[in-house]
Homo-oligomer: A and B are copies of this chain.
Amino acid sequence: MIEGFLFSGIKSGIKKEGRDLGLIFIPQGACACGFFTKNVNSSYSVRISKRHIKNKIFAVLVNSGNANCFTHKEGLNDTLRLTEELAKSLKIKKKNVLIASTGIIGKKLPFSKIIKKIPLLVENLKEDVNLFSKSILTTDTFPKVAYVRLNFKRKKINILGIAKGAGMIYPHLATMLAFILTDAKIEKKLLREISQKAVGESFNKIFVDGCTSTNDSVFFLSSLKGEEIEKKKEIEKFSQALIEVCKNLAKMIVKDGEGVTKFVNLKIEKAKTEKEAKKAFKAISSSILFRSSLYGGIPNWGRIVAGLGQVGIKLEEERFKVESSNLKKKEIEIKVKLGRGRSFYQGWCCDISPSYVKINSK
């Protein structure tokens, strides 16, 4: 499917049930870039990956069930030891390992348990991404994988994305984990540029519950095995495909948000500026009253008016307009026409259901 990447996903005992430890191995190394949470109380995994991302990357270790965050100083040392053990086992260096975690905050990772399972994790490496995509899930109800194949004159290029989401999702850099892999032969600087654009068009446009996780990480990795991306036309084609993969993952994350029953494509039209349009998107998608209306499928647009007024967007009644598709369906499009200018923004959001509270009260 995609050259240069091997995957593994096993059960290490962090979670009571199911796979909870995943590995991506790139035997010949990958050119990488990463985007991280803006939450200042970030996890040890985020802190270490931020340091390592500038290096060539040979492995990405991921655990679910525990955020590896806020567990005092030992947490940091233990995390470093874990990457070291993995590096030894793969005959690479610690500085070439990225790490990502997701789960409960403030509870120590069972490091010895995990370290014991590293040989098994490495033994199980194969080309199939299936078990890896399962091992990174928490309250997600399905694995999230997106794939695009591009045809160039000489070679093909593959882009494979794997993500997890569900809770603590807020449009301020990808509040989730995502791994976007490609075999495109591409300069690091160009990869970073294109990736940044793709993140802006996808993971930064979603809203689930307004909570920014301590662990969000999005990694872009290229094994450089495929077609070279250099010319303007190639760059454009590759960039579009990368955006496509990221958009698909981002939408899956919203659709599989905790307790979500309605997926909304929310379009803000006729704003004064793009900044104002974004602000309007955030105000509406984060209004718990608006989200409750969505759950019930009732057109209570007054809650949109109140949400906009709360963030200082004053509306003229004769110019303001809301249009929507059938609110009783699972996928909805809502257009909010502010009547204040010509700018536009669009993102994806969802309802809140009683299940969201139930899931998070256990």
Q: Which A residues lie at the B interface, using CB under 8 A?
A: 38-42, 67, 69-73, 104-107, 167-168, 170, 209-214, 287-289, 292-293, 295-298, 300-303, 305-310, 312-315, 317-318, 352-362
Name the contact of A357 in the complex, choosing from B41, B69, B318, B352 (C-beta under 8 A): B352
The 28 sampled A-B contact pairs (Cβ below 8 Å) are A38-B310, A39-B309, A41-B308, A67-B302, A70-B302, A70-B317, A73-B318, A105-B300, A105-B306, A106-B301, A106-B302, A106-B305, A107-B302, A209-B288, A210-B288, A211-B306, A211-B310, A212-B306, A212-B310, A213-B306, A214-B306, A292-B356, A293-B360, A293-B361, A295-B361, A297-B361, A298-B362, A356-B357
**Shortest distance in angstroms between A193's beta carbon and chain B's nearest beta carbon?**
28
- Complex Cα distance, B170 from A296, in Å, reads 23
CB pair A312–B40 under 8 Å, yes or no, is yes
Q: Name the B residues within 8 Å of A167 (CB-CB).
A: 289
Check if A211 sits within 8 Å of B41, measured CB to CB. Answer: no
Report how far A356 CA is from B357 CA in the complex, Å.
10
Taking CB atoms, residues of chain B closer than 8 Å to A39 are 306, 309-310
Q: Are A288 and B41 in contact (CB under 8 A)?
A: no
List, in ascending order, chain B residues with CB within 8 A of A295's CB.
Answer: 357, 361
Cβ–Cβ < 8 Å partners of A306 in chain B = 39, 41, 105, 168, 211-214
Q: What residues of B have a CB within 8 angstroms of the CB of A317 in the complex? A: 70-73
A355 CA to B362 CA in the complex, in Å?
16
- Chain B residues near A211: list those with CB within 8 A: 287-289, 303, 306-307, 310
Residues of chain B with a CB closer than 8 A to A69's CB: 302, 305
- Give Cα distance in the complex from A355 to B355, angstroms: 11
In the complex the two chains form, is B305's CB within 8 Å of A214's CB?
A: yes
Residues of B within 8 A of A308 (CB): 41
> Known interface pairs A306-B41, A312-B40, A317-B70. Does A292 touch B214 (Cβ–Cβ under 8 Å)?
no
Note all chain B residues with C-beta closer than 8 A to A315.
41, 70
Report how far A5 CA is from B306 CA in the complex, Å.
Answer: 33
A315 to chain B, nearest CB (A): 6
Q: Could you tell me the distance between the alpha carbons of A71 and B301 in the complex, rounded to whole angstroms?
A: 12
Residues of B within 8 A of A73 (CB): 317-318
Contact with A309, one of B212, B297, B356 (Cβ below 8 angstroms) = B212
**Which residues of chain B are near A361, meaning CB under 8 Å?**
292-293, 295-298
Residues in B whose Cβ lies below 8 Å from that of A107: 302
Q: Is the CB of B309 within 8 A of A42?
A: yes
CB distance from A357 to the nearest CB of B (A): 5
Chain B residue contacts of A293, Cβ below 8 A? 360-361
Name the distance in Å between A11's Cβ and chain B's nearest Cβ. 23
A296 touches B362 (CB 8 A): yes
Name the B residues within 8 Å of A298 (CB-CB).
361-362
A302-B105 contact in complex given A288-B209, A289-B168, A362-B296, C-beta closer than 8 Å: yes
Contacts of A302 in B (CB 8 A): 67, 69-70, 104-107, 214
